[in-house]
Structure 1
Amino acid sequence: MAYRLLVLDLDGTLTNSRKEITPHTLETLIHAQERGIKIVLASGRPTYGVAPVADKLRLTDFGGYILSYNGGEIMDWKSKEMLYENVLEPEVLPYLYECAQKNNFAIVTYHNEFVITEYPDDEYVQKEALLNVMQLKKVDHFLDAIQFPVVKCMIVGDPARLVRLEKEMFDYLKDRMGVFRSEPYFLELVPKGIDKAQSLAVLLKRLDIVPEEVIACGDGFNDLPLIKYAGLGVAMANAQPVVREHADYVTRSNDEDGVAHVVEEFIL
């Protein structure tokens, strides 16, 4: 089977422990695109948090895609056209805000290149903005500022207290939306049923590509549906054990140019 699409998770997969793409991996991915391979960057990050990586890989030149918010959005990075979007029910937003307020946590959402928050000085809010290379935008009242479709909110704060709030919110919202921690201090609040594989299926239909023509690389639990769905599901050597167990192939770690090794082995 000739592969046509390469789907890459970012943190722990494409980027190394310093959150960088190594020169060797960059060069290898440019060569793959020159041969006609399309790249999809599939991440839990907001769209504009993936943008610096997309630009480094020259996805605008070669016609690549960003699958962000763990599958909540798909954007054609060349045309900047939004191809798919799954948003939160507006009716649930006041409850999310109330949960944050009564527990003295900061809540954030995202709009274009901005992280929207009432608390830009919060250490965890700043960590999220830094991770995604996005600007902080202070608002006087969170709910009043949301005049756009919301793909994801996040409540951030002390891990020990946040774990209790996670259980409370999950029990209340489990039939309506997803509630989970991506880091001990980050509580993700997303539309129900979001995952990278479901969103990728939407893109493949649009591109007239079948799963057997796809290589997908990842390391985390949220990459597992993607790895199972792709024709060649690849786990990094640093991946969670269950991810490695379900992969078709285990490559080197993200600190050993594991993605470049896959491309050299199966594409170049």
Structure 2
Amino acid sequence: MITTIALDLDNTLLNSAKEISAENERVLKQLHKMGKRIVLCTGRPIQGIQRLLTQLELFEPTDYAITFNGGLIRHNQTQRILAQTTIGKQEVAALYQDAEQRHYPIDVIGADKVYSIVTLGKSDYESSMGAVLPFADISFDELPADRAFGKAVCAAPAEVVQRVRKEMPTELTDLLHIVPSRAELLEFLPNNVNKAHGLSQLMAHFGETLDNVMTFGDEENDFEMIAQAGVGVAMGNAIPQIKQVANAETLTNNEDGVAAYLKQYFDLR
């Protein structure tokens, strides 16, 4: 039985205006009142989803959110951390060395701020993130050695991201989980962290498994949770790799694809 609905945000639950539509909101609230868990599962930091949690009223005792692509699971009501996997300055140092050699920008995301390593050149990340977190422009040497970080990113034009990923050395692919969340954003995550990993930890907390989860996604960073869920649903606008491993396909994010599939599956009006 499906007890939990896990949703990617950008280009999945959110439309092109970066909003949850009235219909998606209505259907998700209906299912939440019926006892289904609604879990936002995103690469964003927790600060970047607070308004969405508020809009969907996800503050019941069993409500959690998964951020940093599976690296952080936090209780919405109390902010208590259920599970967390991070990287440190040592991992960032290996990435920085490669970025210096191959000329691409990186930003490092901590709990309370984003560190832009401007000695590599200022990236597009701050302009795309808005005011969700404060940004600090620093050199690599100034990056705190005693802090844990959720992830690092390379925010750049799609052709740059594609080149950086294609030529990534084995030492880094062995050290980090490297995956794009969109064409212009490459994410560097703790090794073995992905959205399915985070969901497995959350479901174990409830004495359940991924068989009890329905997932919605569109991009490569959704791959594991779409492939491993009891029901994995690809958006109509999803990349081919996601559609290939999904159990089902729905309409696009601009056509209320989440609501359309949920109404059909749960026989809602």
TM-score (norm 1): 0.86
Is 1:49 the counterpart of 2:57 in the alignment? no
CA displacement, residues 32-71 of structure 1 (integer Å, 9 cap, x when unaligned): 1111111111112222223332222121246422211211
CA displacement, residues 212-235 of structure 1 (integer Å, 9 cap, x when unaligned): 322111122222321222222212
1:153 Cα shift?
0.8
Aligned-partner Cα distance in 1 for 2:123–2:72: 27
AA in 1 matched with 2:231:
L
Kept in 1: contact 2:182–2:219 (CA 8 A): no
The SS at the match of 2:52 is: helix
Out of 98-107 and 174-183, give the one that drifted further. 98-107
The SS at the match of 1:75 is: strand
1:256 Cα shift?
1.3
Is 1:141 the counterpart of 2:139 in the alignment? yes
AA in 2 matched with 1:129:
M
Kept in 1: contact 2:10–2:18 (CA 8 A): yes
Q: Where do 5+ consecutive residues of structure 2 fail to align?
A: none
TM-score (norm 2): 0.86
1:167 Cα shift?
4.1
Is 1:261 the counterpart of 2:265 in the alignment? no
Q: Superposed, which structure 2 residues align to 1:1-268 within 5 Å?
A: 1=1, 3-61=2-60, 63-101=62-100, 105-119=104-118, 122=122, 124-130=124-130, 133-146=131-144, 147-267=146-266, 268=268
Kept in 1: contact 2:219–2:242 (CA 8 A): yes
The SS at the match of 1:215 is: strand
Out of 58-67 and 250-259, give the one that drifted further. 58-67
Q: Where do 5+ consecutive residues of structure 1 fail to align?
A: none
Aligned-partner Cα distance in 1 for 2:162–2:227: 29
Out of 13-22 and 97-106, give the one that drifted further. 97-106
Relative distance call for 1:98 and 1:244 in structure 2 (3 A) is: closer
Relative distance call for 1:168 and 1:143 in structure 2 (3 A) is: farther
Aligned length: 265
Kept in 1: contact 2:73–2:84 (CA 8 A): yes
1:211 Cα shift?
2.9
The SS at the match of 1:106 is: coil
Aligned-partner Cα distance in 1 for 2:82–2:69: 15
Aligned-partner Cα distance in 1 for 2:159–2:243: 29
CA displacement, residues 216-261 of structure 1 (integer Å, 9 cap, x when unaligned): 1112222232122222221222222332233222222211111112
